[in-house]
Structure 1
Amino acid sequence: MIKVVIIDDELSAQNVLEKTLLRHFPNKFNIVAKCHSVDSGVIAINNYTPELVFLDIQMPEKSGFELFKQFDPVNFEVIFTTAHNRFAVQAIRQSALDYILKPINHIDLGDAIKRFEERKRKLSTKDKLTLLLENLNVNDQNIAKLAFPTLEGFELIHSNQILYCKAESNYCSIKGIDGTTKTATKTLKFVEEILPSVFLRIHKSYVINLNFVVRYHKANKEVELTNGEKLPVSFRKEEEFINAILQNN
């Protein structure tokens, strides 16, 4: 059985998560401790050496992120639980870590557990947490470092080095300003969700970095980028694109 520690300042949230785990995943998890704070969670982790920690982000005394200052290396997997905090969720996504939104339901929990069980050829937990804390500390979200899943593991790319992203069936190609192309093993929709607001979907197949737009050819409905490439702008996206360009300059 997988040893689990739950850290959440709300007793009701602890109980809901425990009951959901035991009901929908019988004989899979051994919940060795339920803690109400970061400090008590640190003690439990040291005492029980769990394989998986469910960690609330926002707690009264210390943020859940403070937990990782007490461990080097981090020898357990983490699934964050949160009711809100949009910026924290974005940083978690960008760092290839997992989370579930409250109120927790068994479907979302099941998906998170499946990802936990299938984690192979990925960044170490320590590397993912380092990336998370780095992204949380970035003042300008447009230069956050993103973790893109690839066939080999993960490719870490600063968002300000990305020219555009293109849909390639169930994969996505990422064109860098240096001319290189990387392939992410995720859909364009997934990649779009982790990109900062300076990126915009202009077509079903393209998401571009607005900082690298040179001009827009309205007659041909094509946007020209700094590398000379011209990409199509769909009729449905044209108005949104034009407004975004005007606001970005």
Structure 2
Amino acid sequence: MLISYIIIDATETLTQESDRFLEFNELLCVGVSTTYDNAIDLILEKKPQLIFFHFSNEIPLHLLLNIQQYLEKLPYVIALNDTDAHAYKALKHGVMDYVLMPFLESELRKSVLKFIKFYKDNSIEKLCIKSNGDYHFIPLDDIIYLKADNNTTDFYLQSGKVISGFKTMKFFEGQLPFYFFRVHNSYIVNIKFVTRINLGKFDCFLFDNIHKIPFSRTYRENIDAIIKRIG
């Protein structure tokens, strides 16, 4: 399971401390923002599960009220500040936890572990695929990759089974978590199963090199993101 997070911090203090997050293998940073407007754009674009928000005069708590008008549900927010005087105000703005800065490593660890437990307890781990009148409920971790086939989508699973869903890949793409990457107009891969990437031949190997699929220049940015994560 991978969980996406972003950092919002005008002072860049958290960015300088980003190594603190490396011990949590479940977490993947998908963006950092140091300005108010960019923070809003980043949240709406990446839709992270977790936000580390070092609020300040430059990026105040009001940001959270602003984004609530665009999202059905506010992401889990861990607020950080150099005084506990703002803790009650932060909670009223919808944050789920509050950490004083400069933070102790043990306090940050407890806050993150509490979030991970919350996320696991509340996350949806299966995808519903309608196929030939049947409804298949497939664990997300069993899906190696998706292949578009006209107006249907084939799901390749760890078991070797292939299930065809009678919807376009664009439809399913909107339901998949962030660790599924589109690498080609016809392919989406689960980053957990990527075992090799050949940049010269534009090939991506999955599931101990059992599957080989192409990637295109159009999605080279996603390939670079996969390499960065695995590397």
Q: State the TM-score, normalized to the length of structure 1.
A: 0.44
Larger radius of gyration between Structure 1 and Structure 2: 1
Q: State the TM-score, normalized to the length of structure 2.
A: 0.47
More strand by share: 2
